[in-house]
A and B are shown apart, each in its own frame.
Chain A
Amino acid sequence: GAVVSQHPSWVICKSGTSVKIECRSLDFQATTMFWYRQFPKQSLMLMATSNEGSKATYEQGVEKDKFLINHASLTLSTLTVTSAHPEDSSFYICSARGLTTDRGHEQFFGPGTRLTVL
């Protein structure tokens, strides 16, 4: 199956700093990528949809100025958590949708990035 990677796999930062998380589709081109957040013992929550070359679409309640998303190429999307605070500590997961129609409804998920804000 297709592979999606995330970097870093975990990060610890101080409150007030910004953190960038990368999501890469390694063996396919992804027109659309998605960013999720998951708190302990909870389900995944969709944060935003990222389309290559256009602005991200954020879900209701997600601050677009705090969670900056850039999808500059068909294989890379980045999520920047700006001015991070302890309540932003979470597991951030990206997914990518491929171009091929036979897998048109299949999303491939990255392994996730654990962010801890001190």
Chain B
Amino acid sequence: DAKTTQPPSMDCAEGRAANLPCNHSTISGNEYVYWYRQIHSQGPQYIIHGLKNNETNEMASLIITEDRKSSTLILPHATLRDTAVYYCIVSFTDKLIFGTGTRLQVFP
């Protein structure tokens, strides 16, 4: 599976949009991009996934570049409860290999 690169940490003001980048320059054509998050001492929570097209659900939006070498997870109106570690994973199988993720801190 291709590796991903994420910034180790980010801050975001409550109510503002949080844009979390992810580089996956070696992604192959059949690999999906998944985003999960983990709030302290809990199991990871699925956020969104996509292949080529941008995706949106009730939690977030996923923007994938045309060359698929990078993506951005957008939380449109961050709240304090969105403080967590966010993981970007690429995979074409069921196996999810977690990297180090981005620790997002939402502040009042």
- Does A43 lie within 8 Å of B99, measured CB to CB? yes
DSSP class of B's interface residues: helix, strand, loop or mixed?
A: loop
Q: How far is the CA of A1 from the CA of B44 in the complex (A)?
A: 13
Number of interface residues of B (CB under 8 A): 20
Chain A interface residue count, CB cutoff 8 Å, equals: 24
Total A-B residue pairs with C-beta atoms closer than 8 Å? 51
Contact B87 A107 (CB under 8 A): no
Taking Cβ atoms with an 8 Å cutoff, the residues of B that contact A are 32, 34, 36, 38, 41-46, 49, 87, 94-101
Q: Can you name 5 A-B pairs with beta carbons within 8 Å?
A: A44-B44, A46-B96, A46-B97, A91-B41, A112-B42
Interface residues of chain A, those whose CB is within 8 Å of chain B, are 1, 4, 6, 32, 34, 36, 43-46, 49, 91, 93, 95, 97, 105-112, 114
